[in-house]
Amino acid sequence: MATQDAPHETSLARRFIIGGLVIVLILVVTVWFIAPGSVSTNDAQVDGHIHPLNARVSGTVTWVNPVVNDTHFVQSGTILARLDPNDYEPTVDRLEGDIQSTEAQLVAAKLNVQISEMTTRSRLSAARAAVAEARAEMATAGAQSLSAAASLAQTTAVFHRAEDDRRRYFALVESHEISRSEYDQRATEAATAEAQMRAAEANLAAAREHIASAAQRITEREGDRLAAETAPQQIASARANVQRVDGDLRKTRAILKDASLNLSYTAIIAPVDGLIGRKQIEVGQRIAAGQLLLTLSPTNDIWVVANFKETQLKRMKIGQSATIHVDSSGEDIGGTVESLGGATGAKYALIPPENATGNYVKVVQRVPVRIRISPGNRQTTLVPGMSVEVKVDTRH
């Protein structure tokens, strides 16, 4: 009897061992292919850029595009509204006139530089020539004065000799020693010599006056030369005036550019394609610079932010595929892990939690993971804020 029970017990034990191995194998496969193969979270939502459109200048709204309503789609470049341009057009017109006037001043200033260069240089040459001429005239006058002085000395000597002869002959004619005709001849010679002496005196006086006049002209010509020698300073002043006018022109152009930009800002234009939200603009409304008018939400530049538990990130890597389940439609769309957050959601909170207390309780934190939505046809229109569920395949 004991011999018959032994093979039966051996077969039963063998079955238990095989069954146990099968169960272990099933558990290993389950753990390997299911448990660590994917992680999921329902703490996820669609995110995207929200573009606030603010007024760049103040003004009164004169026109609003009829398509500008909440939830309506507009394309980039669409004029959404217009402000009254009369607040800015007069400034632009005035500045354009100022620029034309300043441009004319700049042309005149540049011509003045050329004229100054030619005029001052010719004046300097003429002044130097006039000084040389006046000095030459002075030298001539000096020579004439010396000649006149010598002539006066000669004629004076002749006159004195002739006058002495006349007086001697006068005494002889009174004593009837010579004839009256001989005396008259000597008297005529004395009168002629006296006239020649007086003429020589006049010539000497004229020569001396000529010297004084020549000296005066030298002084005047020297003054003209000194004035003409300031040509470099005059040219530099003319060029400085060109730079000043050019600076005024640049400044006015900059102001005009600013005024023209302000005028262009009266047309409020959509910067991107998107859906309108939070519309706050109406015709007749007075708006201030920086005031929020509406928001635009692009529908072609969106992604998903999934907040995974920190314990789920062990095998998660950038580039892994993800499945996004859209709550609103039940549709599943593909995606890819694009980046992992640089901090937990708690750290991004307005008031981060403070754990440096005696009654600290450990809480599993969540880390935001950005999921890029794969391009392709999808049935559902996704907008920022929609709830989704995300499953990431961590096997690869």
pLDDT in tens, 370-386: 999 988 767 777 888 89
Q: Which residues neighbour 31 within 8 Å (Cβ) at sequence distance 6 or greater? A: none
Q: Is 329 in the same domain as 356?
A: yes
**Is 286 contained in some domain?**
yes
Q: Are residues 224 and 206 in the same domain?
A: yes
Name the token pair of 227. Answer: 């004035």
Residues 106 and 172 in one domain: yes
Low-confidence ranges of the chain (pLDDT < 70): 1-16, 27-36, 121, 124, 227-231, 350, 352-361, 377
- From the list 311, 329, 314, the residue with the least C-alpha distance to 389 is 329
- Same domain for 193 and 156? yes
Residue 166 confidence (pLDDT): 81
Instruction: Report the DSSP beta bridge partners of residue 216.
Output: none
CATH assignment at residue 323 = 2.40.30.170
Of 127, 112, 113, 118, nearest in space to 229 by CA:
127
Residue 34 lies in a domain: no
Per-residue buried b or exposed e for 1-29, using 16+ beta carbons within 10 Å of the residue's own CB: eeeeeeeeeeeeeeeeeeeeeeeeeeeee
Report yes or no on whether pTM surpasses 0.75. Answer: no
pLDDT at residue 175 in the model: 78
Beta strands 302-309 and 79-83 are unpaired
Residues 197, 306, single domain; the answer is no
Q: Range of 283's domain?
A: 51-84+272-297
Looking at the structure, do residues 125 and 206 belong to the same domain, yes or no? yes
- pLDDT value, residue 157: 87
CB half-sphere exposure, 92, CA atoms < 13 A: 13
Q: Are residues 95 and 205 in the same domain?
A: yes
Three-class SS state of 265 = coil
Last residue of a domain, one of 297, 332, 365: 297
Same domain, 159 and 307: no
Whether residue 344 is contained in a domain is answered as yes
Residue 7 resides in a domain: no
Q: How many CB atoms lie within 10 A of CB 369?
A: 26
User: Structurally, how many domains does the chain consist of?
Assistant: 3
| Structure tokens given for 314 | 């062990």
| pLDDT attached to residue 2 | 44
Q: What does the pLDDT read at residue 3? A: 47
In a domain, 16, yes or no: no
- Residue 321 has a pLDDT of 92
Are 127 and 162 within one domain?
Answer: yes
* Residues 57 and 171 occupy one common structural domain: no
